[in-house]
């Protein structure tokens, strides 16, 4: 797309989403590769307060924004032309390849592989009518809600029954193989351990994130069709999103984060409280995400946000770059800082890393029209274009 005609707000929003993703992901590089901040003693104020902020303000909200924008971008790649499906397939396959490399060598919480797989599935819905996409998005959301509620209810009933017998659920299984490898392993040893962890728990991650990601893709496609982030933006709608998302949405997120926090100190009903908090955190995230979209759009009418926009135009490069920086800092083959820095410290590192990469992206735009990974993925997807 011609950069002179490029819509700026989606880039601003994408750059903002990268910030939230860094804030959530870094805990799994630095604190515990499986449990993140949950592995800390959250009864201590210095741990609990930071974890509460991350859960309430960042967890689940920003990956949904990123997913929404992925669906939004599908409209600009496919352009409602069936002849462009081949390029989209190439893009999805490219993400599968990059995701496999990323999850093996840098981050087991990779999202690119999931995007590639669900990007292929999105083709089954992309050319459907608006009503069909809306129905499917709601069906997926409702199904996910019912699944979360059912799991939380069964956990509560199980703990209630055991409590009546004076018993509790067995302690969680400790998964620390990658933690151990990060403390002492070389690059390849850590990579193999990371891959084993991903293979073991990928189904769990796909269940937790996959359905909502696909629903967000569909919403992104619907908004793009109507030009909802560009020429047909409704200021009243954006104000409404901001008002509801940053009041009711934020309130529900604060409640979910509180339940997650107190579950850490509850011996009898810890799991059910945790699952209830996690369900609230994920299922009400779309409301707060909409609030963030509305608030940021309103602010973008007054401020340029050039750095955010540049970051958004380098989203793939920065997403992968953050992982490279975090992995280098916390792995034994790098600076070996795993489990050596407080939660507040790693959060500050996440902010600094995101900001530094965003500034570098702004500098790069003075010489190039896109980031290095964006160019690579684009050129790869062009290989799938139908030859005349």
| Cβ contacts of 166 within 8 Å, gap of 6 or more | none
Q: What CA–CA distance (Å, rounded) separates 91 from 72?
A: 14
In this prediction the pTM is 0.90
Residue 191 within any structural domain of the chain: yes
- The CB-side HSE value for 256 (13 A sphere, CA atoms) comes to 26
Residue 341 placed within a domain? yes
Tokens of 148: 């979360």
Q: Does residue 45 belong to any structural domain of this protein?
A: yes
Residue 220 lies in a domain: yes
Domain assignment of residue 201, yes or no: yes
pLDDT of residue 2: 41
| pLDDT cut 70: percent of the chain above it | 92
Which pLDDT value is given to residue 230? Answer: 73
Residue span of the structural domain in which 278 resides: 8-381
> Which helix (H) or strand (E) is 208 found in, with range?
helix 187-225
Kindly state the tokens that stand for 145: 């809600």
Lowest mean pLDDT among 79-83, 211-215, 377-381: 79-83
Compute the distance between CA of residue 236 and CA of residue 239 in angstroms, rounded to an integer. 5
At residue 175 the predicted structure's pLDDT band, cuts being 50, 70 and 90, is low
Q: Which whole number is the average pLDDT over 20-40?
A: 91
pLDDT at 169 (0 to 100): 56
φ/ψ region of 256 (left if φ > 0, alpha if ψ in -120 to 50, else beta) reads alpha
> Is 135 a member of any domain?
yes
Residue 107 lies in a domain: yes
State the chain's mean pLDDT as an integer.
Answer: 88
Q: Given the structure tokens 């860094």, which residue do they identify?
A: 22
DSSP string, 60-116: THHHHHHHHHHHHHHHHHHTT-GGGHHHHHHHHHHHHHHHHHHHHHT-TT-SHHHHH
Q: What is the pLDDT of residue 132?
A: 93
Rounded to 5 degrees, what are φ and ψ at 47? -90, -50
Instruction: Look at residue 24 in the predicted model and tell me its pLDDT.
Output: 94
Check whether 117 has a pLDDT greater than 90. Answer: yes
| Length in residues, the chain | 388
Per-residue pLDDT at 276 exceeds 50: yes
Quick check: 137 pLDDT over 80? yes
Give the total number of structural domains in the chain.
1
254 CB-near residues (< 8 Å, 6+ apart): 56
Better-predicted residue by pLDDT, 231 or 144: 144
In a domain, 269, yes or no: yes
């Amino acid at each position: 797309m011609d950069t002179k005609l490029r819509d700026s707000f989606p880039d601003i929003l994408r750059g903002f989403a990268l910030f939230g993703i860094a804030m959530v992901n870094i805990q799994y590089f630095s604190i515990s590769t499986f449990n993140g901040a949950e592995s800390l003693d959250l009864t201590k104020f210095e741990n609990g307060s930071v974890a509460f902020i991350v859960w309430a303000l960042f967890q689940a909200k920003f990956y949904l924004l990123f997913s929404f924008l992925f669906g939004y971008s599908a409209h600009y790649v496919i352009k409602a032309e069936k002849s462009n499906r081949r390029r989209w397939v190439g893009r999805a396959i490219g993400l599968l390849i990059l995701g496999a490399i990323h999850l093996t060598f840098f981050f087991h919480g990779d999202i690119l592989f999931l995007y590639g797989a669900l990007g292929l599935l999105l083709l089954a819905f992309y050319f459907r009518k608006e009503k069909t996409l809306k129905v499917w998005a709601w069906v997926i959301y409702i199904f996910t809600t019912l699944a979360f509620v059912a799991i939380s209810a069964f956990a509560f009933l199980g703990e209630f029954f055991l409590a009546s017998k004076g018993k509790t659920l067995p302690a969680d299984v400790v998964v620390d193989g990658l933690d151990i490898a990060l403390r002492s392993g070389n690059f390849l040893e850590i990579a193999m351990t990371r891959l084993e962890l991903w293979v073991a728990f990928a189904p769990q991650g796909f269940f937790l994130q996959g359905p909502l990601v696909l629903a967000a893709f569909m919403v992104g496609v619907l908004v793009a069709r109507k030009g909802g982030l560009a020429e047909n933006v409704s200021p009243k709608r954006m104000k409404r999103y901001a008002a509801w998302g940053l009041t009711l949405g934020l309130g529900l997120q604060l409640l979910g984060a509180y339940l997650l926090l107190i579950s850490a100190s509850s011996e009898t009903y810890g799991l059910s409280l945790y699952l209830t908090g996690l369900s609230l955190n994920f299922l009400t995230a779309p409301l707060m995400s909409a609030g963030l979209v509305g608030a940021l759009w309103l602010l973008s009418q007054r401020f340029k946000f050039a750095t955010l926009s540049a970051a958004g135009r380098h989203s793939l490069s920065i997403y992968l770059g953050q992982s490279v920086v975090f992995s280098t800092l916390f792995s034994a083959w790098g600076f070996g800082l795993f489990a050596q820095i407080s939660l507040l410290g790693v959060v500050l590192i996440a902010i600094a890393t995101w900001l530094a990469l965003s500034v570098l992206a702004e500098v790069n735009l003075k010489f190039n029209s896109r980031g290095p990974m964006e160019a690579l993925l684009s050129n790869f997807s062009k290989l799938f274009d139908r030859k005349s």
